[in-house]
Structure 1
Amino acid sequence: MKESQRTMDCQELVELVTVYLEDAFAAQAKARFETHVGECGGCAHYVDQMKQTVHTLGELSIEELDPALRDRILTDFRRRS
């Protein structure tokens, strides 16, 4: 089965949500993603949460972030990468 015809599952959606939010999908992959979101309430909620998180973090300046919290976030991020 071609990828464009294959159904996207929740795990694949979670792995690709950043690509979607950055609008970096090819048209067929984006359609598969959006089809899954339209059919899966849990994933629709997850995508909405991620959009809100990106929006909120985009409004936060580095000066507003407590230096200790910033260091903990960066340490955790690097550990998970």
Structure 2
Amino acid sequence: MSAMGCDEFVEQVTAYLDGALDTVNVNRFTGHIADCDGCEVYLRQIRVTIAELGRLPGPGLADRTTATLLAAFRDRSANETPSEGSQDVRGAGFPGPLSGSS
């Protein structure tokens, strides 16, 4: 088993964090960070970056787009008869504009 160098370490960080490395490469990876302070810091920075990015809100829709979509769904619901086997959920206790009580 050959030692992992810093370049390979950087290439394998994502696979390591995703749990995609086999046992041999996990051992090489963890062995490298045990001996390399710089890569240990790099791994911590990547983990912090992932955590911070996970806190960001997802992309939202512009207000105009949201209004257009809701109007289209309302129009479709008003003009459509529920098909056999489906349920009409309007007024079924769902909050908001899709409940039929806007």
Tell me the TM-score normalised to structure 1 length: 0.70
Q: Distance in 2 between matches of 1:28 and 1:56?
A: 30
Matches within 5 A, 1:1-81: 5-63=1-59
Higher-Rg member (1/2): 2
- Superimposed CA distance per residue, residues 39-67 of structure 1 (whole angstroms, 9 cap, x where no aligned partner): 00000000000011011111111248xxx
Q: Distance in 1 between matches of 2:59 and 2:8?
A: 36
Deviating above 4 A after TM superposition, structure 1's stretches of 4 or more consecutive aligned residues are none
User: Which runs of 5 or more residues in structure 1 are unaligned?
Assistant: 65-81
Which secondary structure state, in structure 2, belongs to the residue aligned with residue 62 of structure 1?
Answer: coil
Q: Distance in 2 between matches of 1:59 and 1:20?
A: 22
| Relative contact order, higher structure (CA 8 A, sep 6+) | 1
Calculate percent identity across the aligned residue pairs: 37
RMSD, aligned α-carbons: 1.3
User: Which runs of 5 or more residues in structure 2 are unaligned?
Assistant: 61-102
Aligned pairs, number: 60
Tell me the TM-score normalised to structure 2 length: 0.56
